[in-house]
Amino acid sequence: MSSKSNVQAAAPRSNTKIALSALFAIATVFVVYAKNSQIFDPSSPIAQHFAPAKAFLIPHAIFASIALVLGIFQFSNRLRARYLNVHKTLGYIYIVAVVIGGPSGILIALTIGPKELFMASVVQSFGWIVTTAIALYCVRTGNITQHRRWMIRSYPFGAVFTVARLFVPLGLKLAGDAGLVQVVWTSIAMAAFLPSLLLEWQQIVARKPKSRTAAAA
């Protein structure tokens, strides 16, 4: 068997993963456009909203977006199997992007509020950095299984950007500003909780063989 087909056997293409990634990318472009289509017009409400935080917003938008885009590719088994060096390089860029993108979001929250969501930015940023740092530690110490699991825990903290913005209009409609706060905090809580559910799912549903079956086996 050729080395190429070995790689393909070890890393089959996951159509579900590709479809989910594409859906997530489309949702992200949609929420960015929906909120910021007027941002380059200085007299628009959105440009005026962000004006006091411009110095933080530009690096934040650039680095957090880089992390969000690169993260998707880091989960590609085929990319990892075929081009390990690319995976490593993108991984280090992801780390730098998280370290800049997270805290700069806190500075924006500090500058333009709303005050009710300041701690949400702190917790989201903390979760993003800590999970990424643990993933880095694991890969540096050769613990690839835990590296993968902590990267799966890291990415959702960034993905809160898209998920929260998708549900904010519903939150605002149902409960006004209180709805906004609830949507943001719920998204962050889900980012912290759902990856563990996903990672442990097979263990949760695995059935222990009944003793008679086990004996027969």
Residues near ligand HEM (CB under 6 A) are 32, 35-36, 57, 60-61, 64-65, 67-68, 101-102, 105-106, 108-109, 112, 121, 124-125, 128, 157-158, 161
Q: Which is nearer to ligand HEM, 87 or 126 (CB)?
A: 126
Q: Which is nearer to ligand HEM, 12 or 114 (CB)?
A: 114
Q: Give the integer Cα–Cα distance in Å for 97 and 59.
A: 10
Give the contacts of 58 (CB within 8 A, at least 6 positions apart): none
Question: Which residue sits closest to ligand HEM, CB atoms considered?
Answer: 105
Q: Minimal distance in Å, beta carbon 31 to ligand HEM?
A: 7
- Tokens 């979001």 correspond to 105
Q: Give the integer Cα–Cα distance in Å for 170 and 182.
A: 11
Q: Minimal distance in Å, beta carbon 113 to ligand HEM?
A: 7
Question: Helices in the chain by DSSP H: which ranges?
Answer: 3-10, 15-36, 45-50, 54-74, 77-82, 84-112, 118-140, 144-205, 211-216
Q: Which is nearer to ligand HEM, 114 or 209 (CB)?
A: 114
Q: Minimal distance in Å, beta carbon 2 to ligand HEM?
A: 39
Q: Which is nearer to ligand HEM, 107 or 199 (CB)?
A: 107
Q: Minimal distance in Å, beta carbon 73 to ligand HEM?
A: 15
Three-point CA angle 69, 36, 170, nearest 5°: 90
Q: Which is nearer to ligand HEM, 177 or 200 (CB)?
A: 177
Q: Minimal distance in Å, beta carbon 16 to ligand HEM?
A: 23
Q: Give the integer Cα–Cα distance in Å for 113 and 101.
A: 17
- The set of long-range contacts for 77-85, using a CB threshold of 8 Å and a minimum separation of 24, is 77/10, 77/11, 77/12, 77/14, 78/7, 78/8, 78/11, 78/13, 80/11, 81/7, 81/10, 81/11, 82/7, 82/11
Q: Which is nearer to ligand HEM, 4 or 173 (CB)?
A: 173
Q: Do residues 115 and 99 make contact, with C-beta atoms less than 8 angstroms apart?
A: no
Q: Minimal distance in Å, beta carbon 183 to ligand HEM?
A: 13
